[in-house]
Amino acid sequence: MKKSIIVIKILFLLTWTQTNGQKEDQSAVNQLIIVTNHSGPVISKDIYGHFSEHLGNCIYGGLWVGTDSKIPNTYGIRNDVLFALREIKVPNLRWPGGCFADTYHWKDGIGPKERRASIINTNWGGVTEDNSFGTHEFMKLTELLGCDAYINGNVGSGSVKEMADWIEYLTSGAVSPMTSLRKENGQDKPWKVKYFAIGNENWGCGGNMTAEFYSNTMKQYSTFLGNYSGNQLYRVACGPSDYNFGWTETLMKDAGTREMFQGLSIHYYSVVDGWGFKGSATKFDEREWFETMRLNLQMDNIIKGHSAIMDRYDPEKTKGLVVDEWGNWYNVEPGTNPGFLYQQNSMRDAVTAAIHLNIFNQHADRVKAANLAQMVNVLQSVILTKDDKMVLTPTYWVFRMFRVHQEATLLNIDLRCEDYVYGNKKIPAISASASVDKDGKVHISLANLNPDKPITITCPVIGDSFKKITGEVLTATQMNSYNSFENPDIVKPVAFNGFTMKDGILSITMPSKSVVVLELIK
C-alpha cells in the first residue's frame, strides 16, 4: 500500500472518530491506529535491562547463595532465580550499584574468598559486606544469564587509576600486571563488557558534585578507559535525576565533553506522597493508585525534555539516554530492615511496568537502555525470595509478556483514548505501543490504567492482513492483589480472547487494571 493511501486512511479514521463519536460516551473515542508497513527505529533489547545492587537481599540470598548452600545452585547462583530470569530474556544487568558503587573498591572482591576484605555497607543498613560476590561472580552470573554486563565505576570515592585498572583486568588480553592478576584468580581469557558507567548519582550520593565539576571529572576518567582486545565500551556518563535539565545541558553543550561518552543516564522513581512517607506497597486506596499512575506517565515528559536538549547538540542521535534506575518506591514491608528496601509487588506495579516499557518503546530513537530497580528483593523487583522459596511478582510477568518487543521494529501508532478521572485530576486511561519482529509478527501491548472500568478500544490495522491472533492478559480481582510465598499465583497471565477482528479492525475489550499483549500473524 502506498504511503499516500495510508495517510488518507488514517485521516479518514480520525475524522470519523471525531464526528461520529458519541459525545456523552467517552468509550467511543478509544482508538489505536497501527500502520504495520510504516515503521520506526529498532527497539533496543537493552531497554528491558535490570539492576542488581549490594543492597538488602538482592545479591546475598536473592541471586547468590554460594557454592556450599543447600539451595540448588550453579557456581553459587541459585538455580530457581537463574531459570526464571532466563525466561524473561534479561538483556543486560547493572552492578554493583547504585550508591553502593560510590564506595565500592573492586579489588576487595577478587581472589580467594577467605582473603577478601570485609567492609561496612554504609549506604544500605550498615551491615558487613564480606565481598564474597565480586567481579568474577558477577561476570559468571551474566554468562549464565546470557546477558551483557553493565558495570558501574566508582567516581565518588575511587580514583582514575582504580577504574582504569578494572577495565584492563576485565577486558585486556595483553600481558600486564592486571591481566596476570586476573589469570591468577582463575580467568584466563578476558571478558566482554558492553556498558560501563562513569559514576553514579554524582549530584547526590556519588559526591554531591555540580554539573560543571562532574563534567570535567568524567572527561578525566573517560580518557583512561581503554578499549582492549576488541571490546568496545559504551561509556555512560552520570546524567540527571528527574527534571534536572540543566545537568543535561551542561554535559551536552560542549563537543569535547560529548566525545567522552556514548550514553547519558537518567534516574526517576515514582513516589506518591514524597520521600518522607512513601506509602504501603499493598495497603493503598484509589487515590494512591491514581497518583502512582500519574507519576508513572511523567516519565514521558522527562524523556521528551532531556531528548529535546540532546537533539539540539546531537540531532543525529548518536548519544543514547540510559534510564538505568526506574520504578515505584514505597515504604519497606513492616518488620524488615529499613535499609534493605524490601517491598511487596502488586497489580499496581504490573501496570507501572507496562506504562514505562511502552514509553521506552515509543522513544526507541533516543532511549537505548533502561534498568528496572531492582532485580530481586529490592524495590520494584521481578523476584522475591525467602530461604529456599521464590515467588514471581506481577512485574516479572509484564517483562515476560513484553519480551516480544526486544530488537523488534517500532510501529507508528496514533492513540486516542478516554481519560481516567479521579477528583479534579485526569490522565489517559490507556498506555500502548506496537512493534513488528524479524518474522513479521506484530505485537501490541496495552495497559488499562483504570482500576474499576473495563475499556473497549478499536484498533484499525493498516498495511497488512493477518490470519491468526493470540493474546495474554494480566489482571487481578483487586488493585492491590499480589503474589506471596503462601499464594504465589494470584497475579499471573492467562490466555486472552477478549477481541474480534473484522475488515482489518480489531476490537479489544480490556479488563479493568490490566495489561494485554496481542500477537498478529500473517
Indicate the pLDDT class of residue 266, thresholds 50, 70 and 90. Answer: very high
CA-angle at 110, arms to 151 and 62, nearest 5°? 60
Question: Which of 236, 371, 243 has the alpha carbon at shortest distance from 306?
Answer: 243
Q: Which of 137, 168, 325, 418 is catalytic?
A: 325
Mean pLDDT (whole number) for 345-349: 98
Q: In terms of pLDDT, which residue wins out, 322 or 465?
A: 322
pLDDT at 29: 84
pLDDT digits over 107-151, tens only?
999 999 999 999 999 999 999 999 999 999 999 999 999 999 999
pLDDT digits over 474-509, tens only?
999 999 999 999 999 999 999 999 999 998 899 999
pLDDT exceeding 70 applies to what percent of the chain?
Answer: 95
pLDDT of 241 > 50? The answer is yes
Specify whether the CB–CB gap between 347 and 478 falls below 8 A.
yes
Indicate the pLDDT class of residue 59, thresholds 50, 70 and 90. Answer: very high
Indicate the pLDDT class of residue 411, thresholds 50, 70 and 90. Answer: very high
CB proximity list for 68: less than 8 A, separation 6 or greater: none
CA dist 39 and 51 (Å) reads 30
Is 325 annotated as catalytic?
A: yes
pLDDT digits over 14-32, tens only?
444 443 433 334 445 899 9
Mean pLDDT (whole number) for 328-349: 97
pLDDT at 178: 98
Whole-model pTM: value is 0.94
Average pLDDT, the chain: 94
CA dist 374 and 371 (Å) reads 8
Sign of the dihedral defined by the CA atoms of residues 418, 295, 298, 92, in that order: negative
Question: Which of 480, 479, 470 has the alpha carbon at shortest distance from 441?
Answer: 470
pLDDT of 4 > 50? The answer is no
Specify whether the CB–CB gap between 264 and 236 falls below 8 A.
yes
Three-state DSSP string of 459-512: EEEECCCCCEEEEEEECCCCCCCECCCCCCCCCCCEECCCEEEECCEEEEEECC
CB proximity list for 468: less than 8 A, separation 6 or greater: 520, 521
Give me the domains of the chain, ranges plus CATH numbers: 3-42+410-521 (2.60.40.1180), 46-59+92-127+150-407 (3.20.20.80)
pLDDT at 37: 84
pLDDT digits over 156-201, tens only?
999 999 999 999 999 999 999 999 999 999 999 999 999 999 999 9
Q: Which DSSP symbol is given to 67?
A: T
pLDDT at 3: 41
Indicate the pLDDT class of residue 39, thresholds 50, 70 and 90. Answer: confident
pLDDT digits over 414-458, tens only?
999 999 999 999 999 999 999 999 999 999 999 999 999 999 999
pLDDT at 472: 98
The three grid cell numbers given for residue 143, joined into one nine-digit string = 554468562
Q: Which of 201, 288, 291, 418 is catalytic?
A: 201
Question: Which of 470, 460, 462 has the alpha carbon at shortest distance from 521?
Answer: 470
Distances (CA, A) of 361 to 38, 364, 429: 16, 5, 18
The three grid cell numbers given for residue 54, joined into one nine-digit string = 549490594
Indicate the pLDDT class of residue 217, thresholds 50, 70 and 90. Answer: very high
pLDDT digits over 456-470, tens only?
999 999 988 899 999
Is 407 annotated as catalytic?
A: no
pLDDT exceeding 90 applies to what percent of the chain?
Answer: 93
